[in-house]
């Protein structure tokens, strides 16, 4: 049955290899079941319900891409957009988490339409590489700031805006230790380095009495506090216009880039061909659908995970790898007490490490061309310093178009970039926060 469904022999693999690949991918991305509830619960969402929603959204997305596209790529709520959801849309802009979920749902529907109509490919082709890289790097810096705040390493300072916290506190010391453990394990090629780091800090924290132990296994808690709680009508207000725009843009770049990158590594895109590839078309549809499903369950945008590359490296070549990941996320719903025992300073090292990985995108910016590098740097800087991914994108796209125009190089700007820049100008002019 598995051979018939997934074409294992035709893809040069077997059941054992696919199962091992699926377990490998799960271990490298399982940190999200601890980090996502920690971030979204700051909005007032029920932490246990978010934990279950995170597991179910990951299982749903991974199963869809496994059964529909037959690709070894796993999905889960994405890093970056969960921070945007919690700290910008709800925290800074004042929308309710129900309205934020409504925005996620609407962005998913728009994302689905863009995929069906081919506009998604047009957008990807039209956004310059420097800007794509700056978006990823800027989100990394934003995550880094959030991580340092969660650990108590960076604090408010009335004179300088930010300052150094108490490095002798238990939370700060354990967060620093966790970060070094994760980096060391990753350098030693240990699978699940991030997950091990989170669990190690949690265990030490409980051992020294800095946090309480809530248990390991129990029946899954209720998802009802977040299930179908989205407020779609509330998300249709003019003030949330640019929130949806940002969600769509980040989803377009993040998910599409991950899908293509991992697929190339798995040999699923012969000669790098993107146009007319049936597997890619189905994968794009699958990840678009998963965003809508995740919003209904009660979590921020679901996306393809770059950690899937670890499973590909372990031999995963078909959807069976992603199906194994889906099964493991379902199994993870029984570990809610363990997730509830994880303090914020235990997930902070994971956020900081992900920030370091995302910052590597800076190397892809065209530094020898100031008309490319200046807008890219502005994009990356504005995100953490205004505590908003939306502001970073807006400043970046508008400055890119204007600098090219003022230097007589307007023809180098793709129509897609002009459209996005114009939308952000409209946002600043008519929908200012």
In the chain, domain spans: 2-363
Strands 75-77 and 161-164 turn out to be unpaired
With beta carbons less than 8 A apart as the criterion, state whether 126 and 415 touch.
yes
pLDDT at 41: 92
Q: Which of 6-10, 86-90, 328-332, 355-359 has the lowest mean pLDDT?
A: 6-10
- Give the pLDDT mean for 422-431: 75
Q: Which residue has the higher pLDDT, 408 or 285?
A: 408
With beta carbons less than 8 A apart as the criterion, state whether 107 and 247 touch.
yes
* 276: DSSP letter: T
pLDDT in tens, 356-373: 888 888 988 999 999 999
Report DSSP letters for 307-372, one per residue: THHHHHHTT--SHHHHHHHHHHHHHHGGGHHHHHT--HHHHHHHHHHHHHHHHGGGGGS-TT-HHH
pLDDT in tens, 34-79: 889 988 999 999 999 999 999 999 999 999 989 888 888 899 998 8
Strands 75-77 and 302-304 turn out to be antiparallel
From residue 338, alpha-carbon distances to 50, 216, 334, 380 in Å are: 14, 4, 9, 35
Distance between CA atoms of residues 19 and 25, nearest Å: 10
Report DSSP letters for 153-186, one per residue: SEEEETTTEEEE--TTSHHHHHHHHHHHHHHHHH
Dihedrals φ, ψ of 223, to 5°?
A: -95, -5
pLDDT at 406: 95
From residue 98, alpha-carbon distances to 43, 232, 324, 412 in Å are: 10, 8, 31, 41
Give CA torsion, residues 54, 60, 66, 69, to 10 deg: -110
Q: Which of 33-42, 96-105, 274-283, 414-423 has the lowest mean pLDDT?
A: 274-283
Percent of the chain exceeding pLDDT 70 equals 94
Task: Categorize the per-residue pLDDT at 430 as very low, low, confident or very high, splitting at 50, 70 and 90.
Answer: low
pLDDT in tens, 75-109: 999 887 888 889 888 988 888 999 999 989 998 89
Task: Categorize the per-residue pLDDT at 408 as very low, low, confident or very high, splitting at 50, 70 and 90.
Answer: very high
The answer, yes or no, to whether residue 222 has pLDDT greater than 80, is yes
Run of H or E including 75: strand 75-77
The answer, yes or no, to whether residue 385 has pLDDT greater than 50, is yes
Flag whether the pTM goes above 0.85.
no
Distance between CA atoms of residues 71 and 325, nearest Å: 12
b vs e for 328-341, b when ≥16 Cβ sit within 10 Å of the residue's Cβ? bbbebbebbbbbbb
Across 237-331, the runs of DSSP E, i.e. the strands, are: 302-304
The answer, yes or no, to whether residue 432 has pLDDT greater than 70, is no
What is the average pLDDT score of the chain? Answer: 84
Q: Which of 216-220, 257-261, 418-422 has the highest mean pLDDT?
A: 418-422
Distance between CA atoms of residues 346 and 176, nearest Å: 9
With beta carbons less than 8 A apart as the criterion, state whether 349 and 147 touch.
yes
Task: Categorize the per-residue pLDDT at 184 as very low, low, confident or very high, splitting at 50, 70 and 90.
Answer: very high
Task: Categorize the per-residue pLDDT at 272 as very low, low, confident or very high, splitting at 50, 70 and 90.
Answer: very low
- Give the pLDDT mean for 171-190: 92
Q: Which residue has the higher pLDDT, 212 or 175?
A: 175
The answer, yes or no, to whether residue 431 has pLDDT greater than 60, is no
- Give the pLDDT mean for 131-137: 82
Report DSSP letters for 18-54, one per residue: HHHHHHHHHHHHTTHHHHHHHHHGGGT--HHHHHHHH
């Amino acid at each position: 049955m598995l051979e018939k469904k997934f074409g294992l022999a035709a893809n040069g693999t077997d059941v054992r290899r696919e199962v091992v690949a699926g377990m490998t991918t799960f271990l490298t991305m399982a940190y999200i079941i601890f980090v996502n509830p920690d971030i979204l619960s700051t909005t007032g969402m029920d932490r246990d319900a978010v934990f279950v929603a995170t597991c179910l959204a990951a299982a749903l997305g991974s199963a869809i891409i496994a059964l529909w596209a037959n690709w070894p790529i796993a999905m889960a709520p994405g890093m970056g957009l969960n921070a945007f959801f919690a700290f910008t849309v709800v925290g800074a802009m004042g929308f309710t988490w129900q309205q934020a979920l409504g925005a996620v749902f609407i962005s998913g529907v728009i994302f689905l339409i863009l995929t069906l109509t081919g506009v998604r490919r047009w957008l990807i082709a039209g956004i310059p590489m420097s800007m794509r890289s700056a978006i990823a790097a800027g989100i990394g810096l934003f995550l880094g700031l959030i991580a340092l705040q969660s650990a108590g390493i960076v604090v408010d300072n009335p004179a300088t805006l930010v300052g150094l916290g108490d490095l002798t506190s238990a939370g700060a010391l354990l967060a620093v230790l966790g970060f070094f453990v994760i980096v060391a394990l990753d350098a030693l090629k240990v699978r699940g380095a991030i997950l091990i780091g989170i669990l190690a800090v949690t265990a030490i924290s409980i051992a020294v009495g800095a946090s309480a132990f809530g248990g390991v296994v129990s029946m899954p808690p209720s998802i009802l506090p977040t299930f179908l709680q989205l407020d779609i009508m509330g998300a249709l207000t003019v003030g949330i216009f640019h929130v949806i725009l940002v969600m769509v843009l980040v989803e377009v770049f993040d998910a599409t880039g991950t899908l293509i990158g991992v697929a190339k590594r798995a040999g699923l895109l012969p000669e790098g061909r993107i146009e007319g590839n049936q597997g890619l078309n189905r994968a794009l549809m699958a990840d678009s659908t998963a965003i809508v499903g995740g919003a209904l369950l009660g979590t921020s945008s679901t996306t393809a995970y770059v950690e899937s590359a670890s499973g590909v490296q372990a031999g995963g070549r078909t959807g069976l790898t992603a199906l194994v990941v889906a099964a493991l996320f379902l199994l993870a719903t029984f570990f809610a007490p363990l997730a509830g025992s994880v303090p914020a300073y235990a997930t902070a090292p994971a956020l900081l490490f992900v920030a370091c990985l995302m910052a590597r995108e800076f190397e892809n910016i065209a530094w020898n061309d100031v008309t490319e590098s200046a807008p890219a740097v502005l994009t990356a800087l504005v995100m953490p310093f205004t505590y908003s991914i939306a502001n970073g994108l807006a400043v970046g796209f508008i400055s890119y178009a204007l600098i090219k125009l003022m230097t007589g190089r307007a023809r180098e700007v793709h129509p897609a970039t002009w459209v996005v820049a114009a939308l952000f100008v409209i946002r600043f002019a008519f929908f200012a926060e």
